[in-house]
Amino acid sequence: MLLSKENGWKKQTSETKELIFKFCEEYKISLDLGKTEREYVQYGLKLAEENGFVLAESKEKLVPGDKVYYVNRGKNLVLAIIGKEPLEKGLNYVVSHIDSPRIDLKQNPLYEELELSYMKTHYYGGIKKYQWTSIPLSLHGVVVLENGERKNVVIGERDEDPVFTIPDLLPHLAAKVQGDRKTAEVIKGEELQIIVGTIPTTLNNPEIKETVKYAVLEELNKAYGMIEEDFISAEFQLVPAFKAKDVGIDRSLVGGYGQDDRICGYTSLKAILSLNEIPNKTAVCFLADKEETGSNGSTGLQSNYLEYFTGDLISRTKDNYSDLFLRKALWNSSSLSSDVSAAIDPIFKSVHEAQNAAKLNYGIVVTKFTGSRGKGGTNDADAEYVWEIRNILNKGDILWQTAELGKVDEGGGGTVAMYLAQLGIKTIDVGPALLAMHAPFEISSKLDIYESYKAYKAFYKEMN
Ligand code: MN
Ligand code: MN
């Protein structure tokens, strides 16, 4: 009669605890290897190929059991296993995003003042800017040189590498400048700048006015063949330089950068890779980009890529492709919009309504609706679809809870759910909860990570 949930650790044995902890060791490695969407695509691609997935284009005809992948401009990865049922009966999509809040370099970033050289930035996604100062940052990205050659750049991940940092103001002198600023402005956007050099060039050329900046460009030219204009045809991202770690005396938590939303990327990848029987419906693991800036762009979920690859899949399973097959396939499909929720925290519990707040160690969170100010921007899953999901989770003995993101008038947030729903796909938000979401060091529960993996696997197997 009563809805009662309990802490999932109470049900675990020493064997299941070991299994859960072991699963999270590889998860931590995935966070270290994939700190940008491009790197995460490469990481996922390697796992996919090791598990028998091949490029979809390499197969003219697809039959049940075939495993294929698509890569969209290096920033979306899609894995699919063709199911027994024809695709127009619908597919099962688990959609997460692999971009995370971070700090991008500006297109013309480099300057010198007071004989110090800095680079200017423009942050990406919803960050509390002050959290990103005075911590070690690594620089990741690609640059396309004047001659068209593309170079990958990663500085700050190896032990011997230098790192970067945004120096904050010392407290001794901060009272006037920062003391009265609001949280969002403790550090202002234009103050998010990294220090990159202090030694002047050895060239004795009176035409070189900015000698330290010039020396930085000399180093970049030596290492990558770069000139200053190449910054324009580049994507450079600053991310925390530290590695993911266990957190707490009992090691029950994982701390690390980019868990929103690679926690769902990883668990859904592992779920599709571990399907060893041919699923009834075609199973799709979709790793999206650009969620943190609104899902715009050709690699975000507001683009037509989901329709494009689904149409392509159908055309490889049928002789006479028609657009109606694609429309039917989408309208008959089911999806999990796999994204993180906010876990309640005793320090700031007032922002949540406890009865409808997510708790660490209580399993994956089923979020019927997201949005803010009266469910603005929500998908709000149908009661019937919530029933289907609830049934699959219960039958699979998966630990789950239900929550909304904060008190009604407190704030809120959105996910990709509405972009799936507008294609006719049945959609609900399902993902684990984090503490300190969008911080450089986010916190998740090992138990919830494992239950998320189990939930995605059960969805692929059971959703009909
Ligand atoms: Mn997210
Ligand atoms: Mn986010």
**pLDDT 10s digits, 131-152:** 999 999 999 999 999 999 999 9
What's the CA gap between 361 and 306, in Å, rounded?
33
Judged against a pLDDT cut of 90, whether residue 116 lies above it is answered with: yes
On the question of pLDDT at 4 being above 90, the answer is no
Confidence of residue 376 (pLDDT cuts 50, 70, 90): confident
User: How far is ligand 1, taken at its centre, from the CA of residue 180, in Å?
Assistant: 31
Question: Is residue 279 over pLDDT 90?
Answer: yes
The string over 402-426, giving b where at least 16 C-beta atoms fall within 10 Å of a residue's C-beta and e elsewhere, is bbbbbeeeeebbbbbbbbbbebebb
Same structural domain, 160 and 277: no
Query: Among 75-79, 191-195, 374-378, whose mean pLDDT is lowest?
Result: 374-378
CA distance 450 to 30: 15
In a domain? residue 249 = no
Residue 1 pLDDT > 80, yes or no? no
> Of the ligands numbered here, which is closest to the C-alpha atom of 417?
1
Residue 77 confidence (pLDDT) above 80: yes
Of 205, 271, 379, 193, the C-alpha closest to 23 is 271
Distance CA 390, CA 383 (A): 10
What pLDDT is attached to residue 412? Answer: 84
| DSSP helix/strand/coil, 322 | coil
Does 287 reside within a domain? yes
Instruction: Give distance in angstroms: CA of 260 to centre of ligand 2.
Output: 5
370 Cα distance to chain centroid: 18
Which ligand is located closest to the Cα atom of residue 341?
1
* Cα angle 67-286-261, degrees, rounded to a multiple of 5: 135
Q: How many domains does the structure of the chain reveal?
A: 2
pLDDT at position 411 is: 85
The CATH number assigned to the domain holding 408 equals 3.40.630.10
Comparing 64 with 373, the larger pLDDT belongs to 64
Q: How does the average pLDDT of the chain come out, rounded? A: 97
- What is the whole-number distance in angstroms between the Cα of residue 289 and the centre of ligand 2? 11
For the beta sheet containing 245-247, the strands, ordered from the edge strand earlier in sequence to the opposite edge, are 245-247, 253-256, 442-445
- The CATH code of the domain that includes 201 is 2.30.250.10
> Which domain-ending residue is among 240, 275, 290?
240
205-225 pLDDT, tens digit each: 999 999 999 999 999 999 999
Q: How far is the CA of 431 from the centre of ligand 2 (A)?
A: 12
Q: Distance from the CA of 292 to the center of ligand 2, in angstroms?
A: 5
The last residue of one of the domains, among 240, 270, 293, is 240
Output the CA 99–ligand 1 centroid distance in Å.
Answer: 8
- Domain shared by 129 and 22, yes or no: no
If you measure from the C-alpha of residue 239 to the centroid of ligand 1, how many angstroms do you get, rounded to a whole number? 16
Could you tell me the distance, in angstroms and rounded to a whole number, from the CA of residue 405 to the centre of ligand 2? 12
Write the single-letter amino acid at 409.
D
Q: Which residues surround ligand 2, an ion (CB under 5 A)?
A: 260
In total, the chain counts a number of residues equal to 464
Same domain as 282, residue 378: yes
41: its two tokens: 């695509």
User: Is 235 found in the same domain as 347?
Assistant: no
Taking the centre of ligand 2 as the mean of its atom positions, its distance from the CA of residue 90, in whole angstroms, is 28
117 φ, ψ to 5°?
-110, 130
379 CA to middle of ligand 2, Å? 17
pLDDT at residue 414 greater than cutoff 90: no
Cα of 159 vs centre of ligand 2, distance in Å, is: 29
Regarding whether 33 and 13 lie in a shared domain, the answer is: yes
| Predicted pLDDT at 2 | 80
Please give the distance, rounded to the nearest whole angstrom, from the Cα atom of residue 413 to the centre of ligand 1: 9
Report if residue 274 sits inside a domain: yes
**Tens digit of each residue's pLDDT (9 = 90 or more) over 152-166:** 999 999 999 999 999
Q: Is residue 247 one of the residues assigned to a domain?
A: no
Number of other residues whose CB lies within 10 A of the CB of residue 447: 26
Q: How far is the CA of 174 from the centre of ligand 1 (A)?
A: 34
Digit-coded pLDDT (tens) for 314-358: 999 999 999 999 999 999 999 999 999 999 999 999 999 999 999
Looking at 179, 213, 240, which one is the last position of a domain? 240
Q: Is residue 251 part of a domain?
A: no
In this structure, which ligand is nearest to the CA of 439?
2
Nearest ligand atom owner, CA of 431: 1
**Residue 377 above 90 pLDDT?**
no
Percent of the chain with pLDDT over 70: 100
C-alpha of residue 415 to centroid of ligand 1, in Å: 6
In a domain? residue 391 = yes
- Position 3 scores a pLDDT of 81
Residue 114: give the domain boundaries. Answer: 102-240
Query: Does position 238 have pLDDT exceeding 90, yes or no?
Result: yes
Tell me how far the alpha carbon of residue 97 lies from the centroid of ligand 1, in angstroms.
7
- Cβ neighbourhood burial of 171 (10 Å; 0-12, 13-18, 19+): exposed
Ligand 2 center–CA 100 separation, angstroms: 7
